[in-house]
């Protein structure tokens, strides 16, 4: 019998799946194989690259199918072609060619960028700007490629048509060191003869005022500017260039967008609309010659992260009349984005929209927004029906207060538009416990809302910054739920660029606060943790290699601070931030000693650098950092652990750190740590006692030391503080504080309270790996671990993940006094299966099932 016929799918070049453009001349290639054959492994693969009439092929003589090195000559600027792959299995069966993948070089050649930044003369601080230029196109245009960027945010139109559906271009990067450009094929928007290109600009993050307590100041610049070049290629081989800074660019500040800010919101006056402004022949007499910035500027690089897009729309769930008589719309879900209006009324009528995440005693709860107005205004032109939505601002909200609506309000005329970086969804979790399912859904929504160009802490108040501590703890969860590799790899570039000369890592990236340069454990350790996670979850060795100097630099700086004692002591630290026992107005006051946390992270990061060095073949570095880590561990044990096995900070976080970071290699001592951790959880009535540092670790620490029953009780707790308490209070995202909303419906009195923070949502990674039982065992899920820990409070649990090799899944279910465990192992991978009361076993790809005795006490 012939073996089943495999097929190739999921072909991709580097990170991008949304467009053919790649930002590197040697894009790595990945593909997946589908087959009904069991235990299937790839023996070889053939790669075909077709450019015009030229076809080349290359072979892969092993099982590699993820991040395979580009086997052809480097791409040239604007080069395009089609790539196909076919594979042969170890069983001898070969696939047909895959569907072709279009690949286009999205970068410019060295020295080819000649655009200069332009804006409107005399534009005020953060004032929106319109720019336009007319140009002629000859017959027989072969291709037109637009490269565009901004100091601020921009959208481009050609002849009245948007060039793409992306939002918040070019995103937020470390603007002083790295600016990215967009690449668009605009050939279809051009016609022989006169044409026009137009750009609308707003300040966005570039002109935003950053800071706290009313002391916010601009950081990058005061007004937005635009730079672009349009490359026209003709069939006769000629090339023409239309670039900003050349003659012919015109500008105005008299457009309908009158004000825009990330925190403030957007104001739009439809009476000032300019129909046809981006089409040829337009001239209303108000435009001036654009002002060109002739100063030297950094050359933008191609964007490699996924674009920001509108991904979903939600209708009004309920119209509420508040006790004060105001009209508030409830969309049933805390989300990030904006509202779209359909409205008619008199010219000059202005609809005002104010956004918030919660109601407090029936009214819009705006205190947590602090100095963020989060208010949009639309002034009607007086046309029959007008449709509008903001473009350059976003809000975190479930509720929106509507003022001055003309005529009778119809909730069907308002839609919530969800906006975030458009990453592919890759991970799912379900169980028989509806509150757990809602908790997991809250984590998903929290990630979507806070992965908007950069990984932010929150999306609603006057902050929305790239706090390194949040993503350090959440990166494993993020890497399961969505294809976040390209997103986080791009952000890590900025982390390294903004790193201090002595290796110091800012605790906000991009950094817009001078005091954020202060070294802080668990926050700056994102420099070592996040690249490691991307390697573990995606097999992305290139990120590990690129970030290695940054990783090593951070550890070297802390080692200098630790000195001969090998302990980081006496410096500023966030510690176990937002320990539920800290007073509302002083989140620094965690019960776990700050220095204990700092030195534990020094040990962990030293180990991670040693492991990275070993993987990269840097054996000398590996030995040096491993030896240093041993010295730190010995110092930590001497300083913080008593002979009886107690840690001087007798807290849940201290023991979780010790267990999960491997701060002891003594099994007996680890057992004591686990017993004490379980006792502390039980003494607290199975309520959580951890902040940002301890929360991602505690459940694993309990299970690893034989206390799964305690972990189950902690997970299922619904009293405050607990993971499920916010669910019982109607939360639809993860809160910043365990008690952001008090039981009486009052917002936490602390000055800092958000209802959309993903850090405590790191529990989802444990749900995937342990409660359901699906985890990576080798980088990129090349080898899986199937090891569910059935919890007594569940009848079943399931996890599924689209790995780089294909879909993997695990499901366990109680049935007839036993448990049935099912697993899907993707082709070209294998799995280690560890089930209760059975010897571990290795299985290949395919569908597998086991029936075992139910190990849970009291199971029926």
Domain of 631, CATH number, reads 1.50.10.10
Assess whether 130 and 81 both reside in one domain.
no
* pLDDT (average), residues 435-464: 98
User: Per residue in 54-82, pLDDT tens?
Assistant: 999 999 999 999 999 999 999 999 999 99
Q: What angle do CA 467, 332, 387 make, to 5 degrees?
A: 90
Quote the CA–CA distance of 276 and 543 in Å, as a whole number: 45
Assess whether 286 and 372 both reside in one domain.
no
Assess whether 48 and 83 both reside in one domain.
yes
Phi, psi of 294 (to 5 degrees): -95, 0
Assess whether 602 and 542 both reside in one domain.
yes
Phi, psi of 426 (to 5 degrees): -130, -10
Helix (H) or strand (E) holding 115, with range, is none
Instruction: Using a pLDDT cut of 90, give the percent of the chain over it.
Output: 95
**Predicted model pTM:** 0.97
Assess whether 186 and 321 both reside in one domain.
no
> How high is the pLDDT of residue 351?
98
Whether residue 752 lies inside any domain: the answer is no
Instruction: Write the burial class of residue 197 (CB in 10 Å: 0-12 exposed, 13-18 middle, 19+ buried).
Output: buried
Residue 761 DSSP label: G
* pLDDT (average), residues 217-237: 96
- Two structure tokens written together for 767: 């749900």
Distance of alpha carbon 573 from the chain centroid: 25
Contact 454, 508 (CB under 8 A): no
Last residue of a domain, one of 240, 267, 302: 302
Question: What is the radius of gyration, based on Cα positions, of the chain?
Answer: 28
* pLDDT (average), residues 177-201: 98
CA atoms within 13 A on the CB side of 625: 27
Provide the CATH number for the domain around residue 11.
Answer: 2.60.40.10
Kindly report whether the peptide bond that precedes residue 510 is cis, defined as omega within 30 degrees of 0.
Answer: yes
User: Per residue in 244-260, pLDDT tens?
Assistant: 999 999 999 999 999 99
The answer to whether residue 860 scores a pLDDT higher than 90 is no
Assess whether 208 and 252 both reside in one domain.
yes
Assess whether 298 and 312 both reside in one domain.
no
> Is 404 in a helix, a strand, or coil?
coil
Helix (H) or strand (E) holding 468, with range, is helix 468-481
Whether residue 376 lies inside any domain: the answer is yes
Q: Is the dihedral of CA 847, 848, 854, 856 positive or negative?
A: negative
Whether residue 464 lies inside any domain: the answer is no
Three-state secondary structure of 828-850: CCEEEECCCCCCCEEECCEEEEE
Instruction: Using a pLDDT cut of 70, give the percent of the chain over it.
Output: 99
Assess whether 122 and 254 both reside in one domain.
yes
Instruction: Write the burial class of residue 749 (CB in 10 Å: 0-12 exposed, 13-18 middle, 19+ buried).
Output: exposed
The answer to whether residue 451 scores a pLDDT higher than 80 is yes
Helix (H) or strand (E) holding 703, with range, is helix 698-704
> How high is the pLDDT of residue 1?
58
Contact 807, 784 (CB under 8 A): no
> How high is the pLDDT of residue 858?
62
* pLDDT (average), residues 142-163: 98
Residue with tokens 């935003």: 208
Quote the CA–CA distance of 37 and 846 in Å, as a whole number: 7
Report the number of distinct structural domains present in the chain: 5
Whether residue 666 lies inside any domain: the answer is no
Nearest to 536 by CA among 286, 782, 175, 295: 782
Assess whether 23 and 159 both reside in one domain.
no
Instruction: Tally Cβ neighbours within 10 Å of residue 25.
Output: 15
* pLDDT (average), residues 618-627: 98
Pairing of strands 830-833, 359-360: unpaired
Task: Write out the E strands in 235-326.
Answer: 239-243, 250-252, 257-261, 265-269, 288-289, 291-292, 301-302, 308-315, 318-321
CA atoms within 13 A on the CB side of 477: 30
Residue with tokens 């470390």: 174
User: Per residue in 295-323, pLDDT tens?
Assistant: 989 999 999 999 999 999 999 999 999 99
Assess whether 294 and 326 both reside in one domain.
no
User: Per residue in 110-133, pLDDT tens?
Assistant: 999 999 999 999 888 889 999 999
CA-to-CA dists, residue 831 to 68, 317, 810, angstroms: 22, 44, 11
Provide the CATH number for the domain around residue 834.
Answer: 2.60.420.10
- Two structure tokens written together for 188: 């279809």
> Is 655 in a helix, a strand, or coil?
helix
Nearest to 337 by CA among 359, 368, 373, 313: 313
Assess whether 146 and 278 both reside in one domain.
yes
Nearest to 520 by CA among 630, 604, 594: 594
Range of the domain at 298: 118-302
Query: What's the maximum distance between 2 C-alpha atoms anywhere in the chain?
Result: 86
Quote the CA–CA distance of 478 and 488 in Å, as a whole number: 10
Whether residue 52 lies inside any domain: the answer is yes
Whether residue 438 lies inside any domain: the answer is no
Whether residue 92 lies inside any domain: the answer is yes
Instruction: Tally Cβ neighbours within 10 Å of residue 437.
Output: 16
User: Per residue in 324-339, pLDDT tens?
Assistant: 999 999 999 999 999 9
Assess whether 149 and 285 both reside in one domain.
yes
- Catalytic positions, please? 463, 736
Pairing of strands 774-776, 783-786: antiparallel
Residue 514 DSSP label: G
* pLDDT (average), residues 622-649: 97
Provide the CATH number for the domain around residue 349.
Answer: 2.60.120.260
Nearest to 491 by CA among 435, 537, 546: 546
Last residue of a domain, one of 285, 302, 319: 302
Last residue of a domain, one of 257, 287, 302: 302
Residue 6 DSSP label: P
Residue 241 DSSP label: E
Quote the CA–CA distance of 43 and 87 in Å, as a whole number: 8
The answer to whether residue 556 scores a pLDDT higher than 90 is yes
Quote the CA–CA distance of 616 and 438 in Å, as a whole number: 41
| The total number of residues written for the chain in this structure | 860
Whether residue 756 lies inside any domain: the answer is no
> How high is the pLDDT of residue 14?
96
What is the average pLDDT value for the chain, to the nearest integer? 97
If you count DSSP H runs as helices and E runs as strands, how many of each does the chain have, helices first? 14, 45
């Amino acid at each position: 019998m012939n073996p089943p016929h495999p097929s190739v799918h999921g072909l991709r070049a580097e990170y991008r799946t949304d467009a053919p453009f790649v930002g590197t001349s040697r894009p790595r290639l990945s593909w997946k194989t589908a087959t009904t054959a069991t235990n299937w492994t790839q023996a070889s693969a053939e790669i075909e690259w077709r450019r015009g009439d030229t076809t080349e092929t290359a072979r892969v003589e092993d099982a590699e199918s993820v991040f395979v090195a580009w086997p052809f000559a480097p791409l040239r600027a604007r080069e395009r072609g089609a790539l196909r792959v076919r594979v042969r299995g170890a069983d001898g069966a070969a696939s047909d060619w895959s569907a072709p993948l279009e690949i286009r070089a999205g970068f410019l050649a060295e020295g080819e960028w000649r655009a200069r930044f332009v804006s409107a003369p005399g534009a005020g601080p953060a004032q929106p700007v319109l720019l336009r230029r007319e140009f002629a196109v000859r017959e027989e245009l072969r291709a037109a490629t637009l490269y565009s960027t901004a100091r601020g945010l921009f959208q481009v139109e050609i002849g009245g048509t948007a060039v793409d559906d992306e939002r918040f271009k070019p995103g937020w990067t470390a603007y002083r060191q790295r600016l990215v450009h967009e690449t668009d094929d605009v050939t279809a928007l051009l016609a022989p003869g006169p044409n026009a290109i137009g750009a609308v600009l707003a300040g966005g993050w570039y002109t935003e005022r950053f800071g706290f307590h009313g002391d916010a100041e601009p950081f990058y610049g005061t007004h937005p500017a635009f730079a672009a070049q349009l490359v026209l290629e003709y069939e006769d081989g000629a090339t023409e260039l239309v670039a900003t800074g050349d003659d012919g660019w015109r500008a105005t500040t008299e457009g309908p967008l009158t004000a825009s800010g990330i925190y403030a919101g957007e104001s739009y006056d439809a009476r000032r609309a300019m129909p046809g402004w981006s089409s040829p022949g337009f001239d209303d007499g108000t435009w001036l010659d654009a002002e060109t910035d002739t100063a030297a500027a950094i050359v933008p690089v191609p964007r490699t992260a996924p674009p920001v897009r509108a991904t979903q729309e939600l209708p009004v769930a309920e119209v509420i009349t508040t006790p004060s008589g105001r009209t508030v719309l409830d969309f049933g879900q805390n989300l990030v984005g904006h509202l779209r209006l359909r409205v008619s009324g008199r010219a000059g009528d202005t609809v005002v929209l104010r956004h918030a995440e919660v109601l407090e005693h029936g009214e819009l709860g705006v205190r947590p927004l602090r100095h963020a107005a989060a208010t949009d205004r639309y002034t009607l032109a007086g046309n029959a029906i007008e449709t509008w939505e903001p473009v350059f601002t976003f809000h975190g909200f479930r509720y929106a207060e509507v003022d001055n609506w003309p005529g009778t309000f119809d909730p069907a005329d308002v839609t919530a538009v969800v906006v975030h970086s458009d990453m592919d969804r890759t991970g799912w979790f379900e169980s028989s416990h509806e509150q757990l399912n809602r908790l997991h859904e809250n984590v998903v929504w929290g990630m979507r809302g806070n992965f908007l160009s950069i990984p932010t802490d929150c999306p609603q108040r006057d902050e929305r910054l790239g706090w390194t501590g949040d993503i350090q703890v959440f990166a494993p969860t993020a890497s399961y739920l969505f294809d976040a590799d390209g997103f986080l790899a791009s952000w890590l570039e900025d982390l390294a660029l903004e790193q201090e000369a002595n290796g110091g890592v800012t605790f906000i990236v991009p950094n817009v606060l001078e005091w954020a340069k202060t070294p802080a454990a668990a926050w700056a350790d994102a420099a070592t943790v996040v690249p490691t996670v991307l390697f573990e979850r995606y097999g992305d060795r290139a990120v590990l290699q690129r970030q290695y100097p940054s990783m090593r630099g951070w550890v070297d700086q802390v080692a200098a601070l630790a000195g001969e004692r090998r302990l980081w002591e006496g410096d500023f630290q966030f510690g176990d931030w937002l320990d539920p026992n800290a007073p509302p107005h002083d989140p620094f006051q965690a019960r776990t000693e700050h220095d204990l946390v700092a030195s534990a992270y020094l040990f962990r990061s030293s180990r991670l650098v040693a492991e990275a060095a070993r993987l990269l073949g840097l054996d000398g570095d590996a030995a040096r950092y491993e030896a240093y880590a041993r010295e730190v561990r010995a110092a930590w044990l001497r300083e913080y652990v008593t002979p009886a096995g107690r840690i001087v900070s007798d807290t849940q976080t201290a023991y979780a750190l010790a267990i999960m970071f491997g701060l002891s290699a003594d099994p007996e001592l680890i057992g004591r740590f686990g017993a004490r951790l379980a006792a502390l959880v039980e003494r607290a009535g199975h309520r959580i006692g951890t902040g940002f540092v301890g929360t991602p670790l505690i459940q694993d620490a309990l299970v690893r030391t034989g206390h799964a029953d305690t972990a189950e009780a902690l997970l299922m707790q619904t009293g405050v503080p607990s993971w499920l308490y916010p669910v019982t209070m109607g939360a639809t995202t993860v809160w910043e504080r365990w008690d952001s909303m008090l039981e009486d419906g009052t917002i936490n009195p602390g000055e800092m309270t958000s209802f959309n923070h993903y850090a405590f949502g790191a529990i989802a990674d444990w749900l995937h790996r342990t409660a359901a039982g699906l985890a990576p065992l080798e980088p990129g899920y090349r080898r899986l671990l199937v090891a569910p820990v059935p919890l007594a409070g569940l009848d079943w649990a399931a996890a599924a993940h689209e790995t780089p090799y294909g879909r993997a899944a695990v499901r366990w279910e109680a049935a007839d006094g036993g448990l049935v465990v099912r697993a899907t192992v993707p082709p070209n991978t294998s799995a280690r299966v560890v089930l209760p009361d059975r010897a571990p076993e290795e299985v290949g790809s395919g569908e597998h099932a086991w029936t075992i005795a139910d190990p849970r006490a009291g199971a029926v």
